[in-house]
Structure 1
Amino acid sequence: MAKKRTRKAIMDTASELFHKQGYNATGINQIIDESGVAKSTLYQHFRSKEDICLCYLNETDERWKVKFTSFYEISDDPRELILMSFDFLKEWLIGDNYRGCVFLNIISELADANKKVSKAVLEHKTWLRKFFQEEAAKLTGVPASFGDVVFILFEGALIESQVHRDTHLVDCARETVSKMMG
């Protein structure tokens, strides 16, 4: 049980630091100091900062998907689900103080330098893109590429809301998608 608490302390600390100050600005020694574990203890749980980052991305992915898909319980109408995804985004951005997308923030720091991290980011974004593609495919009267258009609008609204620290563009993207669906 102590092993789980130690791992959790490391991950809680690393997650907060990665999220607030970024991957590159967070060092192993800072994670060790702020989590209160010995260096050898950290390395018993994680071989590298990359391993900590991968765990952070995987845990974030799991939590995000649970929250994102929670509105499936409200409706099974694809039009409503697509529009509710923008409502979810707006609520999430406000609750997260406009820090933006964890996955995009990490990948922007690492680019292609880290294949494992790039793969984790791509898997998360592919899941979201597939969600929009599958829901859009259930609609009639929209082009086959509509799911990708929704994905692009969603991602663009996410990024610009971080930049502007406002959800107005999420509302604009939602309204555009609604008009496109008819």
Structure 2
Amino acid sequence: MREQILRACFELFARQGIRRTGVEDLVAYAGVAKSTFYSYVPSKEEAALAYLKHLYRRWATALEMSVAARGEGPQSLLGVLDALDTLCGKDSDGGPHASLVRVLAEFGPNDPLGRASIELSTRLTGQIAGMAEAAGLSEPDEFARDYRLLLDGVLLSFTEGSTRAMNDAEALATSLIRHHLARKEVRA
């Protein structure tokens, strides 16, 4: 029952945002009584923290799978964009709302949910850095931070209804990958 309730919470949070979704909305969408809801999920905040962890797991898994699907080497890092499109693109179930960045924007860095978003986003950035290092790029931490800026810009573009965000992002990501490859060659 808890999983059913949390799935309903996750769907509404992704669609409406956490702040705009009231407990009454969650109870109605889950199709349970309020007492049942609270017996399995003590608070909306707990449901929201579970949602953030759910988003993180989805992102971490999608990154691994999408990068692996592109093969090996530096160009495999374009798979990060594939993960973004799968999770937040126009054909995804969550759209641009299914992002840790949105939660941070909703709550700010001083709120517990904002801090949790930052911490989980930092983990994802670390995952991208690890992939960049494995692909042989120079300064993988810097690369990952730059790539995250690009991803956040694409999310904003999705929100604005951009039809060319992914094409532009792929060109920029390719340039970023080449830049970090060239820097490694210069140092060698």
Fold agreement, TM-score > 0.5? yes
User: Deviation string for 1:112-138 (max 9, x for gaps)?
Assistant: 4522x2232123211221123223335
Residue 61 of structure 1: aligned partner: 56
Q: 1:134 to 1:25 in 2, by over 3 A?
A: same
Residue 170 of structure 1: aligned partner: 169
The runs of 5 or more residues in structure 2 that have no matched partner are 183-188
Moved more, 137-146 or 57-66: 137-146
Q: Does 1:102 align with 2:102?
A: no
In structure 2, distance between residues paired with 1:102 and 1:47: 24
The runs of 5 or more residues in structure 1 that have no matched partner are 1-5
- CA RMSD after TM alignment: 2.6
In structure 2, distance between residues paired with 1:101 and 1:170: 19
User: Deviation string for 1:41-84 (max 9, x for gaps)?
Assistant: 11111221100101111122212222221145446734133222
Equivalent residue in structure 1 for 2:153, among 156, 160, 164: 156
In structure 1, distance between residues paired with 2:66 and 2:25: 38
Q: 1:33 to 1:71 in 2, by over 3 A?
A: closer
Residue type of the alignment partner of 1:126: T
The TM-score normalised by the length of structure 1 is 0.80
Q: Does 1:132 align with 2:128?
A: yes
Moved more, 172-181 or 61-70: 172-181
Higher relative CO (Cα under 8 Å, sequence separation at least 6) belongs to 1
Alignment identity in percent? 21
Residue type of the alignment partner of 1:133: A
In structure 1, distance between residues paired with 2:154 and 2:85: 9
In structure 1, distance between residues paired with 2:99 and 2:137: 34
